[in-house]
């Protein structure tokens, strides 16, 4: 009974020809999830019994093989996309169109959210950027330094849409982690994009990604955001990289920059609340505080008075 149920599950996936078409990335993710958690996990449990029947072992092998074949489609897809990016054939509108075609912009971009959430768009961007093994942290964080967690990709798309970058802009992701925000912002908008990251291993990883994708206008600076050089920055993004006095110290640095030129700040997550209390910043649209903490917020500094 169990064996025939599992066989039917495997055959259903095998016979779904749409899964074998590269374009159907989202259905493939669902099928791979089903294989992994419904079929293979179940088979692994059953095969752990003493002397499992040969039929079960054969099904286990078939399920693994099917999973590998489906994964191979995505491996080839992302290898090809990375090569197209390297050669400058996949950026701006072309990359956005590709994202729309393969995965859509996904839900929730502009909706109120109480907590962080990832979707298929993140699986797509992870596969696009993560060619290497994730690095181990090498330094001990101070208590007010927040650990690494990536910004959902739909939030980055929202940022790009709302920032309306011009060629005069220079973007900074403060606490840039593995670099995905700056990479995606640059690839989709063309703006020069930097990241400031205190953890050397993350910073090296992000720079290696930028070099691998051949994007010279993206760079990651290994520094504490309290002391980094922001002389060129016009648009800053913070996905709650630090809190308390450390956050205030960095905001004081940005305030000093705003007295030299007009700057814009985008925030995401709990840091939005303290940023919204800065008297030198004005919120554009909804701030994302209250019950919309996990919503992108946008602030601008006052215009600089020439000659003052
Ligand atoms: C919530 S993660 C955001 C990562 C990245 N912005 C993204 O969305 O993919 C916060 C990052 O800030 C970094 N960080 C924490 N304190 C920092 C500091 N004082 N200066 C620079 N980076 C810091 C952490 O190492 C971590 O990678």
Pocket test for ligand 1, best of 241, 246, 253, 254 (most atoms within 8 A of CB): 241
Q: Is the pLDDT of residue 115 over 90?
A: no
CATH architecture of the domain formed by 120-301: 3-Layer(aba) Sandwich (3.40)
pLDDT band at 53 (very low <50, low <70, confident <90, very high): confident
**Which residue is it, tokens 């919120």?**
283
* Mean pLDDT of the 44-70 span: 90
**What is the helix (H) or strand (E) element at residue 193, kind and residue range?**
strand 192-197
Q: Is the dihedral of CA 118, 123, 124, 127 positive or negative?
A: positive
Number of the ligand 1 atom closest to the C-alpha atom of 144: 16
Number of the ligand 1 atom closest to the C-alpha atom of 199: 25
Side-chain-side CA neighbours of 107 within 13 Å: the count stands at: 3
Which of the residue ranges 49-63, 148-162, 163-177 would you say has the lowest mean pLDDT? 49-63
Q: Is the pLDDT of residue 52 over 90?
A: no
Q: Is the pLDDT of residue 112 over 90?
A: no
* Mean pLDDT of the 219-234 span: 98
Pocket test for ligand 1, best of 182, 197, 221 (most atoms within 8 A of CB): 197
Domain residue limits, the chain: 2-90, 120-301
Report the share of the chain in percent with pLDDT over 90.
82
Query: CA 293, 221, 177: angle at the middle one, nearest 5?
Result: 40
pLDDT band at 111 (very low <50, low <70, confident <90, very high): very low
Q: Quick check: 299 and 276 in contact, CB under 8 A?
A: yes
Q: Is the pLDDT of residue 1 over 80?
A: no
Ligand 1 pocket member 205 (CB < 6 A): no
Q: Is the pLDDT of residue 137 over 80?
A: yes
Number of the ligand 1 atom closest to the C-alpha atom of 237: 6
Q: Is the pLDDT of residue 109 over 50?
A: no
* Mean pLDDT of the 82-86 span: 96
Q: How far is Cα 29 from Cα 33, in angstroms, rounded to an integer?
A: 6
Q: What's the 74 CA to ligand 1 centre distance in angstroms?
A: 29
* Mean pLDDT of the 190-211 span: 97
Report yes or no on whether pTM surpasses 0.85: yes
* Mean pLDDT of the 217-233 span: 97
The reported pLDDT for the residue numbered 116 is 74
Number of the ligand 1 atom closest to the C-alpha atom of 137: 25
pLDDT digits (tens, 9 = 90+) for 242-301: 999 999 999 999 999 999 999 999 999 999 999 999 999 999 987 656 667 788 999 999
pLDDT band at 47 (very low <50, low <70, confident <90, very high): confident
Q: Is the pLDDT of residue 110 over 70?
A: no
* Mean pLDDT of the 215-233 span: 97
How far are the Cα atoms of 109, 126, 184, 294 from residue 154, in angstroms, in the given order? 6, 13, 11, 12
């Amino acid at each position: 009974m169990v064996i025939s149920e599992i066989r039917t599950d495997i055959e259903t996936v095998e016979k779904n020809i749409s899964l074998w078409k590269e374009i159907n990335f989202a259905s493939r993710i669902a099928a791979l999830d089903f294989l992994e958690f419904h079929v293979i996990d179940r088979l692994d449990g059953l095969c752990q019994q003493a002397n499992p029947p040969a039929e079960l072992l054969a099904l286990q092998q078939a399920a693994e093989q099917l999973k590998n074949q489906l994964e191979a489609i995505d491996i080839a897809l992302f290898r090809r996309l990375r090569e197209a990016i390297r050669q400058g054939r996949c950026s701006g509108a072309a990359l956005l169109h590709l994202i729309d075609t393969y995965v859509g912009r996904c839900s929730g971009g502009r909706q109120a959210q109480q907590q962080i959430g990832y979707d298929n768009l993140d699986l797509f961007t992870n596969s696009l950027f993560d060619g290497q093994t994730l690095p181990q942290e090498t330094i001990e964080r101070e208590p007010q330094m927040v650990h690494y967690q990536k910004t959902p990709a739909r939030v980055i798309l929202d940022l790009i849409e709302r920032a309306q970058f011009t060629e005069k802009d220079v973007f900074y992701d403060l606490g840039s982690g593995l670099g995905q925000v700056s990479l995606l912002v640059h690839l989709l908008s063309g703006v020069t994009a930097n990241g400031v990251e205190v953890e050397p291993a993350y910073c090296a990883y992000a720079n290696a990604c930028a070099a691998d994708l051949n994007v010279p206008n993206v760079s990651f600076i290994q520094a504490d955001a309290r002391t980094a050089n922001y002389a060129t920055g016009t648009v800053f993004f913070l996905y709650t990289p630090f809190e308390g006095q450390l956050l205030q110290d960095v905001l004081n640095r940005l305030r000093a920059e705003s007295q030299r030129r007009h700057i814009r700040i985008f925030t995401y997550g709990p840091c939005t609340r303290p940023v919204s209390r800065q008297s030198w910043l004005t919120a554009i649209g909804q701030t994302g505080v209250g019950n919309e903490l996990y919503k992108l917020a946008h602030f601008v500094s006052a215009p600089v008075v020439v000659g003052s």
